[in-house]
């Protein structure tokens, strides 16, 4: 029997020597999951060692035996290396991989394809998967690839510009406009579409220039609520070229494609002229063709109204922009300041990006789009006095707001060739603001010099409704308007009425009607002065007024104007209703004080069944039943093609000019100019981009 080998505190017999060595190596190579089994075998080995272990207190243990016991520890590494090489007699256990598993030996793609084939074979063998022949057409089949086209494609030249008439395959035409949904929303650029082909009764016009007046902004006030998808556009007057013609107008020479036209839109439609392409209906909108001769004449005129005094020869050119001096510019123009130069580099970049260049002078098409709206409104205002002018050849007219663009147009129209042969005697009274007096005085003097005729008796009187304060005004300080007293204002109106009394004659009670007014045209609001009933005529009798010498000495001013009866002042100064005297309101009748802000003058709140004077048929009925004078409202545009043709003739003859405050590209911060239009009576001409 061999001697046991002692290792550490354990004694191992020769019979289990090989097994113990193998288990030690295997325990180092096994994974963490086999630790449990290893501990069990280790505990059993310890129990056996404890049973065979000799008592440690035996004194007869030899030193040689201890040396022999230390030898296995020194030879341990060599023993492990020998154990790594398996012998033929030692059984080999299969190694288990620890960590990442090795890649499978077979191809995954082939493996999945084989699994798919097995699954398909099972499905084919299933009786529920087989489709009967009569239902074979329901089986889904994957379509094959489309054959490659052998057709040769034509090269498209993208550099060539095509006109709208050549684009016959389009279903829509995109356009760009300035519009708003309703009064509560903000004006902005929008991009609607026009469906093709066009309706047979309509024409598409490529807009080049649009003129925008303060009056045009009142259109938005009509749409407090807009349930339509169509937005509300701005602008009535325009100039451009015909792009596409409906079938009803294809054979008409005046509506050929490329024909230059000037036009004005109906006020009863939502569309506006501030757009790149405009769809018009010649039956409701008015468009007038411009021939080559007219276009050439437009190049030679200047429609701008200036306020420089004329020379002694009386050659009056109202609209010479080069002759205009800064001292006589209207306050509205002086108050209007362009956008200040930015200091921030980012703001400078934005300003440069929107700084679209325009011509220094108005192009011919821009000139022709300046007159339609103002001339139409002037004709509307004078239409009620035309019958008196044709019948008597005389007219006494008062314009409340003579310093507005409409007031300038009415004044020029009364002195133009339209009334030259029929209006022999004219007494025109203009009510203006005090700060515009210098400008208006120059304007009226030029008119009188230019149209002087010994065969005509014409006179223009200027009356201000306020007084300029001499107090020191700080920059940015808001100064209240100092209105004149009603009695003082009334005395000035009476003085202007009697200014046409021939020298050596006096006014009697029976002849006073000849000097009273035929019509009052209200542009800025008449309630402050003309609708008041508290004019104290008895107090005027106590004052020695200049016109008192023109009244018969035994007649007082009170008896002459029936001052003891409480009536509005306008009734006192108008001729009797039986003689056709009229009060024509171009704004709301209820405006409390004279104003130049369009939102106060026109908001369309008084229209409807509760205001019978808002409609012509009901207005005539109301005038015949009630009132001591004929009252008419002319707020909406009343289009007339004959008026448009007549106004164009006056424009080409240099008899009609307008105060144009600015000419600009419509992309150059248009909101700044729209804001100015709301505050003052202005006119801007916009150049429309090619879109």
d(CA 515, CA 535) in angstroms, rounded, equals: 19
**Percentage of the chain surpassing pLDDT 70?**
71
Instruction: Return mean pLDDT, the chain.
Output: 79
3-state secondary structure 281-321: CCCCCEEEECCHHHHHHHCCCCCECCCCCCCCCCCCCCCCH
- pLDDT score for 44: 46
The confidence band for 60, taking pLDDT boundaries of 50, 70 and 90, is very low
3-class DSSP state of 223: coil
- pLDDT score for 98: 60
The confidence band for 474, taking pLDDT boundaries of 50, 70 and 90, is confident
Least confident of 188-197, 501-510, 604-613: 604-613
- pLDDT score for 2: 43
Sign of CA dihedral 158, 162, 166, 170: positive
Of 40-49, 312-321, 396-405, which one has max mean pLDDT? 396-405
Q: Is the pLDDT of residue 323 over 50?
A: no
Angle (CA) 524-210-687 rounded to 5° is 125
Average pLDDT over residues 601-618: 61
Of 257, 279, 266, the closest CA to residue 177 belongs to 279
- pLDDT score for 329: 46
Domains of the chain, CATH where assigned: 1-29 (no CATH), 170-370+660-691 (3.90.180.10), 374-469+480-642 (3.40.50.720)
The confidence band for 311, taking pLDDT boundaries of 50, 70 and 90, is low
CA 143 to chain centre: 52
Is pLDDT larger for residue 330 or for residue 441?
441
Least confident of 580-594, 616-630, 672-686: 616-630
- pLDDT score for 8: 42
Write the CB contacts of 229 (distance below 8 Å, at least 6 apart in sequence): none
The confidence band for 656, taking pLDDT boundaries of 50, 70 and 90, is very high
Q: Is the pLDDT of residue 539 over 60?
A: yes
d(CA 78, CA 63) in angstroms, rounded, equals: 25
The confidence band for 490, taking pLDDT boundaries of 50, 70 and 90, is very high
Is pLDDT larger for residue 351 or for residue 405?
405
- pLDDT score for 328: 42
The confidence band for 20, taking pLDDT boundaries of 50, 70 and 90, is very low
Note the pTM of the prediction, 2 decimals. 0.71
114-159 confidence digits (pLDDT tens): 888 888 888 777 666 667 777 767 767 777 778 887 777 776 666 6
Q: Is the pLDDT of residue 225 over 80?
A: no
- pLDDT score for 293: 94
- pLDDT score for 132: 72
Of 18, 11, 16, 15, the closest CA to residue 1 belongs to 15
Of 310-319, 449-458, 604-613, which one has max mean pLDDT? 449-458
Q: Is the pLDDT of residue 581 over 80?
A: yes
Average pLDDT over residues 53-76: 45
The token pair that represents 442 in the structure block: 């120059």
Task: Confirm if 301 and 361 have CB atoms less than 8 A apart.
Answer: no
Average pLDDT over residues 313-319: 47
d(CA 365, CA 290) in angstroms, rounded, equals: 9
Q: Is the pLDDT of residue 332 over 90?
A: no
d(CA 640, CA 11) in angstroms, rounded, equals: 131
* Backbone angles phi and psi of 242, in degrees to 5: -75, 130
Of 46-55, 87-96, 335-344, which one has max mean pLDDT? 87-96
- pLDDT score for 462: 96
Task: Confirm if 177 and 190 have CB atoms less than 8 A apart.
Answer: yes
559-578 confidence digits (pLDDT tens): 999 999 999 999 999 999 98
Of 484, 513, 495, 486, the closest CA to residue 459 belongs to 495
Q: Is the pLDDT of residue 168 over 70?
A: no
The confidence band for 358, taking pLDDT boundaries of 50, 70 and 90, is confident
Write the CB contacts of 666 (distance below 8 Å, at least 6 apart in sequence): 178, 210, 274, 686, 687, 688, 689
Decide: residue 48, CB within 10 A, 0-12 exposed, 13-18 middle, 19+ buried.
middle
The confidence band for 80, taking pLDDT boundaries of 50, 70 and 90, is very low
Q: Is the pLDDT of residue 49 over 70?
A: no
Of 198, 312, 318, the closest CA to residue 255 belongs to 198
Q: Which residues of 506-518 are buried (b: 16+ CB within 10 A; e: fewer)?
A: ebeeeebeebbbb
């Amino acid at each position: 029997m061999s001697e046991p080998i002692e290792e550490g505190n354990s004694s191992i017999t020769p019979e289990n020597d090989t097994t113990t060595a193998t288990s030690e190596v295997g325990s180092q190579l096994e994974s963490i999951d086999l630790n449990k089994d290893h501990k069990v075998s280790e505990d059993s080995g310890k129990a056996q060692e404890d049973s065979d272990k000799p008592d440690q207190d035996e004194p007869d243990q030899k030193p040689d035996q201890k040396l022999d016991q230390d030898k296995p520890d020194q030879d341990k590494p060599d023993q492990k290396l020998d154990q790594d090489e398996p012998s033929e007699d030692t059984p080999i256990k299969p190694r288990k991989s620890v960590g990442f598993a090795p890649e499978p030996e077979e191809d995954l793609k082939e493996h999945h394809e084989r699994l798919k084939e097995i699954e398909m074979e099972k499905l084919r063998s299933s009786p529920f998967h087989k489709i009967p022949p009569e239902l074979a057409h329901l089986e889904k089949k994957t379509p094959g690839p489309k054959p490659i086209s052998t057709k040769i494609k034509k090269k498209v030249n993208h550099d060539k510009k095509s006109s709208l008439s050549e684009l016959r395959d389009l279903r829509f035409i995109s356009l760009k406009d300035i519009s708003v949904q309703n009064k509560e929303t903000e004006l902005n650029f929008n991009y609607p579409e026009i469906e093709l082909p066009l309706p047979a009764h309509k024409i598409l016009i490529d807009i080049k220039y649009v003129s925008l007046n303060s009056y045009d902004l009142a259109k938005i006030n009509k749409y407090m609520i807009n349930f339509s998808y169509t937005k509300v556009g701005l602008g009535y007057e325009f100039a451009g070229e015909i792009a596409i013609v409906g079938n009803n107008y294809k054979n008409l020479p005046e509506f050929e494609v490329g024909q230059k036209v000037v036009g004005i839109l109906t006020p009863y439609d939502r569309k506006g002229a501030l757009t790149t392409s405009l769809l018009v209906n010649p039956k409701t909108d008015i468009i007038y063709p411009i021939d080559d001769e007219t276009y050439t004449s437009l190049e030679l005129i200047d429609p701008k109204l200036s306020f420089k005094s004329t020379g002694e020869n009386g050659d009056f050119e109202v609209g010479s922009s080069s002759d205009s001096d800064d001292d006589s510019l209207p306050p509205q123009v002086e108050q209007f300041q362009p956008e200040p130069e930015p200091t921030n580099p980012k703001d400078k970049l934005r300003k440069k990006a929107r700084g679209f260049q325009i011509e220094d002078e108005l192009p011919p098409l821009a000139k022709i789009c300046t007159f339609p709206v103002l001339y139409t409104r002037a004709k509307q205002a004078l239409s009620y006095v035309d019958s008196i002018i044709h019948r008597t050849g005389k007219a006494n007219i008062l314009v409340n707001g003579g310093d507005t663009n409409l007031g300038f147009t009415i004044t020029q129209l009364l002195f133009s060739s339209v009334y030259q042969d029929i209006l022999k005697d004219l007494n025109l009274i203009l009510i203006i603001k005090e700060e515009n007096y210098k400008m208006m005085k120059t304007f009226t003097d030029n008119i009188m010099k230019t149209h002087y005729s010994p065969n005509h008796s014409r006179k223009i009187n200027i009356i201000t409704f306020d007084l300029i304060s001499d107090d020191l005004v700080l920059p940015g300080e808001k100064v209240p308007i100092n209105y004149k007293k009603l009695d003082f204002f009334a005395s000035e109106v009476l003085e202007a009425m009697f200014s046409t009394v021939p020298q050596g004659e006096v006014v009697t009670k029976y002849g006073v009607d000849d000097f009273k007014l035929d019509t009052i045209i209200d542009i800025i609001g008449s309630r402050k002065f003309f609708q008041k009933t508290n004019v104290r005529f008895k107090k005027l009798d106590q004052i020695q007024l200049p016109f008192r010498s023109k009244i018969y000495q035994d007649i007082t001013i009170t008896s002459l104007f029936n001052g003891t009866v409480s009536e509005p002042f306008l009734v006192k100064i108008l001729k009797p209703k039986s003689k056709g005297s009229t009060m024509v309101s171009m704004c709301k009748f209820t405006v409390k004080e004279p104003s130049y802000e369009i939102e106060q003058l026109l908001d369309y709140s008084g229209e409807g069944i509760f205001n019978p004077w808002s409609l012509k048929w009901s207005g005539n009925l109301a005038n015949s039943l009630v009132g001591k004078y004929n009252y008419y409202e002319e707020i909406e545009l009343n289009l007339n093609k004959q008026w448009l043709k007549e106004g164009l003739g006056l424009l080409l003859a240099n008899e009609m000019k307008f105060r144009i405050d600015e000419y600009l590209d419509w992309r150059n911060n248009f909101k700044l100019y729209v804001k100015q239009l709301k505050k003052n009576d202005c006119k801007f001409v916009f150049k429309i981009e090619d879109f």
